[in-house]
Amino acid sequence: MIGAGPTGTPPRRRVPWAWLAGGDGVVLRHVPSEASFFDGLGMWVAGMAVVSGFGMTVAASQWWSTSIVSVLWVLPLWAVLYCLIERLVLKSFGTSWAWNLVLTIPRLLLSLAIALVIGLPMAQVIYSGSINDELSKTTTARIQEATAQITSTYGAKIALAQKEIAAAQASETRLRQQVTKSRFLADCEAGLQSCSQTHKLGRGPYYKRNQRQAAAAAAELKRARPQIAATIAANQRKIAAWRAAESSQIAARVASIKANRDFLARQAALERVQKASPAVKKYVEFFLAFLIAIDLVALMLKLTHLFSTGGAYERAAAALRANELVDVHRLQERATVLTRRIKLESPGPAGRRRAQDPGRELTRARPRKRRARTERPSDPPLAPRRPGRCNVARRLTIALGLAEIERRR
């Protein structure tokens, strides 16, 4: 049988390490020398799945700015996904060297993507002290800049309102001074000779003039006082609202700047640290290259083993696949034979007409009188009838189908 081993031993269950390396138990029973390599490669894949899962967990904690414990569920999820990807890639190798080399290109791109996704957050964890210092400096500078911008914006509005208040108060003061001065001059004309303009006491024309000016100024002050008070009150309310808005905006802006410590902010801080210290940049690049190399170890081991040993496992898998194709071809031929047999056994057009009009067949079946045929000496002897081509093909097809069925039984 095809499924049995070369020595006729029954199938036995193997440790699932070879499954992680793309191995199949049916093929490994035909090439037992490849089992140890596939078991070791599967162990490496399992170890790398755990390491890559831990790195992805650290990366997730940096992306979402949370603790590693809260995103610990990423580790088993990514480990299982990593094992499935490695199995599919390693199982896709065949006997064609060109195809095997082409297959390494998407796996190389995947390793590069994994290194970038995991390596950059890991580098942020490694240089967290320098990154925090850089973020602190940047935060202080941004807070000062934002505070100055907000203060200048509201300061201009508050200064304009204060000018309007000062103008209203100056107008009120001017009217009061005018009333006081006019009344003082009128009192001087009436009873104080030293300050009188005429140096004569009495309520003469100058006294009346000063009284009229004082009354006019007092009336104007009385009319303007409500408007002046309303202007001052409105401007004071505006100033209070603007100062409150200024304080709230500064507080919100400061809180937003202090909370801006996500992945992009930390990466920008790491880039500034790299510019300030070229050694940090070289180490980060070396770390990313190390992640790519360690992720491609399984692929390199597979290619090295394949090219050095000739690919016994892949050849055995190809041979078994060829045997399966033979079985598939047999099934197709059997289906073709059975289809032809059914078509030949089915009634033709004449049979369908007989089934539709049985009276016509009875009419044709009535015996008719045939004239006796006298053989003439000159007539040639009748040749025996040969079977038609359709009957021969039909019998041959039926015979082949029956032989195939008997052989299968």
Tens of pLDDT along 191-235? 666 666 666 666 777 777 877 888 888 888 888 888 888 888 998
**157 with 178, same domain?**
yes
Q: Answer whether residue 40 shows pLDDT above 90.
A: yes
**107 with 202, same domain?**
no
For residues 276-302, give the mean pLDDT.
92
pTM for this model (two decimals): 0.62
Tens of pLDDT along 105-130? 999 999 999 999 999 999 988 898 88
Q: Answer whether residue 307 shows pLDDT above 60.
A: yes
**226 with 321, same domain?**
no
Domain hosting 51: range is 17-126+278-310
296/299 Cα distance (integer angstroms): 5
> Would you mind telling me the total number of residues written for the chain in this entry?
409
231/233 Cα distance (integer angstroms): 6
> Would you say residue 43 lies in a domain?
yes
Burial label for 88, CB within 10 Å (0-12, 13-18, 19+), is: exposed
**250 with 337, same domain?**
no
**118 with 136, same domain?**
no
> Would you say residue 319 lies in a domain?
yes
- Which of 253, 270, 287 lies at the terminal end of a domain, its last residue? 270
**136 with 246, same domain?**
yes
> Would you say residue 60 lies in a domain?
yes
> Would you say residue 382 lies in a domain?
no
> Would you say residue 265 lies in a domain?
yes
Q: Burial code of 153-191, b = ≥16 C-beta within 10 A, e = fewer?
A: ebeebbeebeeebeebeebbeebeebbeebbebbbbbbe
**156 with 252, same domain?**
yes
Q: Answer whether residue 69 shows pLDDT above 50.
A: yes
In this prediction, residue 186 carries a pLDDT of 76
Question: Between 32 and 351, where is the model more confident?
Answer: 32
**167 with 183, same domain?**
yes
In this prediction, residue 76 carries a pLDDT of 95
For residues 41-46, give the mean pLDDT.
94
Q: Answer whether residue 263 shows pLDDT above 80.
A: yes
- Which of 239, 270, 301 lies at the terminal end of a domain, its last residue? 270
Asked if residue 16 lies in contact with residue 42, where contact means CB atoms within 8 angstroms, the answer is yes
Band (173; pLDDT cuts 50, 70, 90): confident
**24 with 121, same domain?**
yes
Tens of pLDDT along 349-399? 544 444 455 444 444 444 444 444 444 444 444 444 444 444 555 666 676
Residue 357 amino acid letter: D
Sign of dihedral through CA atoms 71, 72, 75, 78?
negative
What is the signed CA dihedral for 91, 289, 287, 66, rounded to 10 degrees? -50
> Would you say residue 374 lies in a domain?
no
The mean of the pLDDT values for the chain is 81
**52 with 88, same domain?**
yes
- Which of 217, 249, 270 lies at the terminal end of a domain, its last residue? 270
179/84 Cα distance (integer angstroms): 98
> Would you say residue 61 lies in a domain?
yes
Q: Which of 29, 24, 28 is nearest to 7 (CA)?
A: 29
**122 with 141, same domain?**
no
**156 with 266, same domain?**
yes
In this prediction, residue 44 carries a pLDDT of 95
Q: Please tell me the total count of domains within the chain.
A: 3
Q: In 142-202, where do the E strands start and end?
A: none
> Would you say residue 407 lies in a domain?
yes
